[in-house]
Amino acid sequence: MSVHPSAIVASGAVVPGSCIVGPFCTIGPEVVLGEGCNLISHVVLDGRTRIGARNTIYPFTSIGIAPQDLKYAGEPTETVVGDDNTIRECTTISRGTVKGGGVTRLGSNNLLMAYVHIGHDSQVGSHCILANAATLAGHVIVEDYSSIGAFSPVHQFCTVGQYAFIGGGTIVTQDVLPFSLTSSRRENKAFGINKVGLARRGFSAERLAALQKAFRLLLTSKMNTTQAVEKIRELKTEDANLLASFVERSQRGVIK
């Protein structure tokens, strides 16, 4: 194990020999690290925190710290992080709360840029990009392959659908449609599908065309949302059904 002399690793922490713990890192007694993690320097890991393999964590990041919730009274809640994440400088990930399910979760193969905040009880999937200072309030769900632009705060209990792209500086107060390109000019608005991002992920021309048709029904037709969802289901594609189901289960309404 490569542990810098200035690092503090509490008794009880699990740190495999393949890990690198850089200068001035602090690892609490209930932290479990996977193989091959690299804590570059000044990293704080606290609480009941389980971190998977091959994660690279940059300076001044804090993971598993107490939630920013005045009702939190020291309950033994958790933080769970998957594999192969890159977590850049000054990121904060708070552990869960009892009323929120008790676990804050980050999946695998994500890029969290500098100053990202993942609030208590949030659930972030895999293959996501959160740009500089993207901020998730508590209880936010971010589905797989989503991108959240720089300086974009996401309100409590919102869901960002899979493959969505949120432009920088967008204030998100409602659910973000899967596959969508959503941004803020004077007001938040979905501008259609995330065509470039979806193509990069291997979506075929036929699949993109079907999604575009579904989004036209939802965003530009004169039908109300219920009518549009019924028409979207008639397209009988997996993506269309996913989009329709997302709209139907939304609790805060969707950005259209």
Q: Active-site residue numbers?
A: 120-121, 138
CATH number of the structural domain 2-142: 2.160.10.10
Residue of 111 and 252 predicted with greater confidence? 111
Percent of the chain with pLDDT over 70: 98
Model pLDDT, residue 19: 97
Which of 100-104, 182-186, 238-242 has the least mean pLDDT? 182-186
Domain extents in the chain = 2-142, 198-249
Is the domain spanning 198-249 CATH 3.10.620? The answer is no
Average pLDDT, the chain: 95
14-58 pLDDT per residue, tens: 999 999 999 999 999 999 999 999 999 999 999 999 999 999 999
Model pLDDT, residue 191: 83
Model pLDDT, residue 239: 96
61-97 pLDDT per residue, tens: 999 999 999 999 999 999 999 999 999 999 999 999 9
pLDDT above 60: residue 98: yes
Work out the angle at residue 103's Cα, subtended by the Cα atoms of residues 101 and 107, and round it to the nearest 5 degrees. 125
Confidence of residue 222 (pLDDT cuts 50, 70, 90): confident
Confidence of residue 185 (pLDDT cuts 50, 70, 90): low
pTM for this prediction: 0.90
pLDDT above 80: residue 186: no
d(CA 232, CA 218): 8
Instruction: DSSP for 65-96, please give it.
Output: EPPS-TT------EEEE-SS-EE-TT-EEE--
Confidence of residue 255 (pLDDT cuts 50, 70, 90): confident
Confidence of residue 187 (pLDDT cuts 50, 70, 90): low
Q: What mean pLDDT do residues 185-202 have? A: 84
Model pLDDT, residue 108: 98
Which of 6-10, 26-30, 221-225 has the least mean pLDDT? 221-225
3-state secondary structure 184-238: ECCCEEEEEECHHHHHHCCCCHHHHHHHHHHHHHHHCCCCCHHHHHHHHHCCCCH
What Å distances lie between residue 250 and 64, 173, 212, 237, CA to CA?
A: 29, 12, 21, 20
Burial pattern 110-135, b for ≥16 Cβ within 10 A else e, equals bebbbbbbbbbbbbbbbbbbbbbbbb
